[in-house]
Structure 1
Amino acid sequence: MKKLTSLCLGLTLAAGAIAQPAPDDAAIVKKVADYVIAHTAFTFTGDNQQTYRKSTDIPDNVQARISDQLSSWHYPNGVLNIAMTDLGRYLNEAKYSQFAQQHIAFAFDNYQVFEARSKKGIKYKGFPFNQLIHTRVLDDCGAMGASVIDVYQTVQRPVYKTYIDKVIRHISQVQERLPDGTLCRPNPFRWTIWGDDLYMSIPFLARAGKLTGNTALFDDAVAQVHHFTKYLWDEKAGLYAHYYYEDLKRQGPAHWGRANGWIMMAKVQLLNNLPDNHPGKKEIIAELTRQILGVAPYQSASGLFHQVLDRTDSYTETSCTAMFVYAIARAVNEGWLDKRYITIAERGWDGIVKEKIQADGQLKDVCIGTNISADIAFYYNRPTELNDFHGLGPVIEAGIEIMRYRKKS
């Protein structure tokens, strides 16, 4: 009888544990997105402490800046715009898509004032919309350009199409490349290949190919995946190095989490747009699968991934974890990856929800913007900032794909 009682008690406890409701993934994602909406002003702040809704209202003698980082024009804003557009579409809630539309409109409605005054010798601290006005590298235009294409599907302002064409010309004809066609940077050393740049180019190229019907843009995007893998893939580790020094013919020392995340997300964004009959599609799926299988052994017990992926004494980092969750869950949802691998994404998502999302929707432990370095300690010591905008878009995208999977299941 005692054994039977113990068995029944055990079964009751087990049933109770199973019966506990899972966190509401939609509510969690919306909490993050709603925080973004509530804290994005789309205004300018003058050194006279005045707030201006339009750039034309700023007097010539007043120094002004964009009021908040979420209103600025920088590649993480593009990633966020894409995610908000996707969230609005998935939940059928217009306010999220409208955020991206408002962000793009804010820039295009105001940048010309700063451009004109700059030509007259008036300089502003912080250079509002500098990357929109002076496109120099992929950071300036790739991710933001991709988000402009997403918005252009709904809001077809001619100025948006003009900008899209400008970015096509920049990436295809202006941006520096190695002799084999690999996109690279002119600094801090000539010529350096950054893993980040696969995301700063491919999501735009893939969307632009779909928008224009120019298959050469698809071909270039597929080629870039192969080029970057050639220079950055570390076969022994099963991970990508952050960068490659062309002058030294040498990879960097760190398998930085977010660089690997950028690369994985870029492959997924390419597959999202690449025609099924494109000869490179199976190759990209194979490259994505290899990367997923490579990163999987480095997942921690909490489901999170580390700032330096193969160094467990580095901190667990939110943005790279979210990028892997998004990419793996998306690959399963689209049938590019066997569904048995969804547990990697689910454990990662549950770790983010448990440890990295605050009650008010802010994100913890997001590494700030990061340059390249020849010493591993640089990556260990990169600070994190609460709600740094590098993590917002990836976390929202990760949540969408987890919702999609769990809804189907």
Structure 2
Amino acid sequence: MKKQTLLLFLGISLPLAGLAQDNSADAAVVKKVADYAVAHAAFRFTGDNNQTWNTSKEIPAGVTARISDHLSEWHYPNGVLNIAMTDLGNYLKDEKYTAFAQQHVAFAFDNYAYFEALSKKGVKYKGFPFNQLINTRVLDDCGAMGASLLDVYQKVKRSDYRAYIDKAANHISKVQERLADGTLCRPTPYKWTLWGDDLYMSVPFLARMGKLTGNNAYFDDAVAQVKHFSHYLWDERNELYVHYYYEDLKRQGVAHWGRANGWIMLAKVQLLNDLPANHPGRNEVIADVTRQILGIAKCQSASGLFHQVLDRTDSYTETSCTAMFVYSIARGVNEGWLDKRYISIAERGWEGLVKEKIQEDGQLKDVCIGTNTSADLSFYYNRPTELNDFHGIGPVIEAGIEIMRYHANNKK
């Protein structure tokens, strides 16, 4: 029996560095996070009197019902989680995780029509189910969920899924507001605002559509968005991205918010997952990812974690952005897009997550909640965290998959 196995059998804790090199230990951590989500997504409805129903057909007339839990909702973090669950199931060859994503999507499509009918009658209330599925207005409403549906559609060929995919593609390509140069933007909080988050809410979907349809226009638009967002949001002096750009003021925001930088890096890497090897913009995207990695590497803390405001060490260390950076760097190394020497940044980040942010029950600490834009830096400093906020679950699972891959292929 090997020494590490014997120590674990005897109940003796191994140092973190040993765990990071043990692929089975990496898998155990990732599955712990994913299994918590599987166990706590109910996929049902709840009423004000705490009655529950498995389908919308069971809801009594006139009763106000809501989706029972965040993990069962239709919101962009759910799309990120579905993509991660599909990736985890494919990597581990465990249908439990791919089934989670399939069940989530089916729950929405099998039940949203009931609420759509209520909406047409003017019925609205707080927590109205599937509102973003029924009413697509901005990229948050369709980009990430649409990308996850494209992944599910590879195995479940429902016609209503394909109809939604085409609807989302039309919205992103032809309906969503853009600046004069074609950069995707949104009408809030000011007309027009460019959000770093929106690179993720568009590009991974566009890349998947390019792969699904063979239409290079989707790839071209995705590459163009990477260039445009870098033009408006890259802070050359600090080598980081700002969170937003106000078109009316022609002015960048003040904060190098961690998760906005994470969304941007994640979007580029997911574009590279599907971008053809011979696409003329591919090398430029890789160079853009590399430039961003060199920028955020200067902000990594001694624990391996990254801060809520990347270049402000007095802001808290934040889980979701750290996981996004770990995934992106490890993915790039695993796929051969990045030099292998960058892996240490990802490994230290993963070690920090395992040691400080992932609880024994699989819940995540210090995940920043959903965040708007603000002109003052204190807004980002003081943005609350919630235990196991669903903005962090998908990225942590994705980070763990790529760390598993690296350690499995580079055993010491």
The TM-score normalised by the length of structure 2 is 0.94
Amino acid at match of 2:222: A
Aligned residue number for residue 235 of structure 1: 236
Tell me which amino acid in the other structure corresponds to 1:333.
N
Correspondence 1:7-406 to 2 at 5 A:
22=20, 24-406=25-407
SS of equivalent to 2:298: helix
- Specify the alignment match of 1:5 in structure 2: none
Q: Decide whether the 8 Å contact of 1:76 with 1:393 is kept in 2.
A: yes
Off by >6 Å, runs of 4+ in structure 1: 16-19
Counterpart of 2:394 in 1: which secondary structure? helix
Q: Is the 8 A contact 1:243 1:372 kept in 2?
A: yes
Q: Retained in 2: the 8 A contact 1:237–1:294? A: yes
Deviates more, 1:97-106 or 1:20-29: 20-29
Matched residues, number: 394
Aligned CA distance change for structure 1 residues 292 and 129 (closer, same or farther; 3 Å): same
**Residues 58 and 289 (structure 1 numbering): CA distance in 2 closer, same or farther, change over 3 Å?**
same
Shift of 1:126: 1.0
Q: Deviations over 1:260-313 (max 9, x none)?
A: 000000000000000111111111001011101111010000000000000000
Are the aligned partners of 2:16 and 2:355 in contact in 1 as well (CA < 8 Å)?
A: no
Shift of 1:407: 0.4
| 1:193 match: secondary structure | strand
* Percent of paired sites with the same residue: 77
Displacement of 1:361 after TM fit?
0.3
TM-fit CA distance, 1:56: 1.2
User: Matches of 2:62 and 2:161 in 1, distance apart?
Assistant: 31
Q: What one-letter code is carried by the residue in structure 1 that aligns with 2:183?
A: T
**Greater C-alpha Rg:** 1
Change (3 A) 1:170 1:359: same
The residue number in structure 1 matching 2:3 is none
The one-letter code of the counterpart of 2:239 is G
**Contact 1:239/1:260, CA 8 A, preserved across alignment:** yes
Q: Which amino acid aligns with 2:219?
A: F
Q: Which residue of 2 aligns with 1:12?
A: none
Question: Any unmatched runs of 5+ in structure 2?
Answer: 1-13
Q: Using the TM superposition, give the Cα deviation of residue 118 of structure 1 relative to its aligned residue in structure 2, in angstroms.
A: 2.0
**Paired letter, 1:61:** G
| Structure 1 residues 185 and 21: CA distance shift in structure 2, 3 A | closer
Cα RMSD after superposing both structures: 1.3
Deviation at 1:127, TM superposition (A): 1.4
Deviation at 1:259, TM superposition (A): 0.1
> What is the CA–CA distance in structure 1 between the aligned matches of 2:246 and 2:119, rounded to whole Å?
35
Quote the Cα distance in structure 2 between the aligned partners of 1:341 and 1:66: 42
Is this contact kept in 2: 1:346–1:402, CA < 8 A?
Answer: yes
Please give the per-residue CA displacement for 1:130-176, whole angstroms capped at 9, x wherever unaligned.
00000000000000000000000000000000000001100010000
Tell me how far apart the structure 1 counterparts of residues 181 and 119 of structure 2 sit (CA, whole Å): 38
Q: What is the rounded CA distance, in whole Å, between the counterparts of 2:193 and 2:122 in structure 1?
A: 33
Alignment match, 1:7: none
Q: Distance in 2 between matches of 1:18 and 1:272?
A: 30
Amino acid in structure 2 at the alignment position of 1:163? Y
- Tell me, in whole angstroms, the C-alpha distance in 2 between the residues paired with 1:59 and 1:135: 27
* SS at structure 1 position matched to 2:245: strand
Quick one: structure 1 residues 281 and 21, their matched pair in 2 at CA, closer, same or farther if it must change by over 3 Å? Answer: closer
Shift of 1:122: 3.2
> How far 1:59 sits from its partner (Å)?
1.2
Counterpart of 2:353, as a letter, is I
Asked if the contact 1:319–1:366 (Cα under 8 Å) also holds between the matched residues in 2, the reply is yes
Q: Residue 76 of structure 2 contacts residue 144 of structure 2 at CA under 8 Å; is this kept in 1?
A: yes
Contact 2:19–2:26 (8 Å) recurs in 1: no
**Equivalent residue of 1:244, what SS?**
strand
Change (3 A) 1:392 1:20: closer
Aligned-partner residue type, residue 197 of structure 2: D
- Which letter maps to 1:181? G
The 8 Å contact of residues 64 and 125 in structure 1, kept in 2 or not, is answered as no
Map of 1:13 onto structure 2: none
- Aligned-pair distance for 1:124? 3.8
Structure 1 unpaired stretches of 5+: 1-15
Deviation at 1:230, TM superposition (A): 0.3
Measure the CA separation in 2 of the matches of 1:60 and 1:369: 33
- Quote how far apart the aligned CAs of 1:21 are: 5.4
State the SS of the aligned residue for 1:298: coil
Q: Is the 8 A contact 2:325 2:346 kept in 1?
A: yes
| Distance in 1 of aligned mates of 2:263 and 2:375 | 20
TM-score (norm 1): 0.95
